Amino acid sequence: MAKKSKEAVEFVWLQCTECNELNYRTPINVKGGIAEKLKAGMKKYCPNEKCDKARSHTLHKIKRK
């Protein structure tokens, strides 16, 4: 039985654009390049009360550590 080759997966953090907190850690496939949809950012729930829009869905962008 042949072994499967591992895909090029990298873990990145999603950072809130309102309060600059790192809220989510997610794996992305970097072999074919990062999707434009991810580069632009995605709306995720921000539980922090420091945000201007406390406890709401805000734009999160990729942050590499």
Is the CB of residue 52 less than 8 Å from the CB of residue 38? no
> Distance between CA atoms of 13 and 48, rounded to whole angstroms?
16
| Phi and psi angles of residue 33, each rounded to the nearest 5 degrees, phi first | 95, 155
What pLDDT shows up at residue 3?
55
Residue 14 CB neighbour total at 10 angstroms: 20
Domain ranges in the chain are 9-63
Query: Which CATH number applies to 9-63?
Result: 2.20.28
What's the average pLDDT block by block, 10 residues per block, for the chain (65 residues)?
A: 66 89 86 77 84 79 84
Q: Is the dihedral of CA 17, 22, 23, 24 positive or negative?
A: positive
Q: Output the pLDDT for position 56.
A: 82
pLDDT score of 2: 54
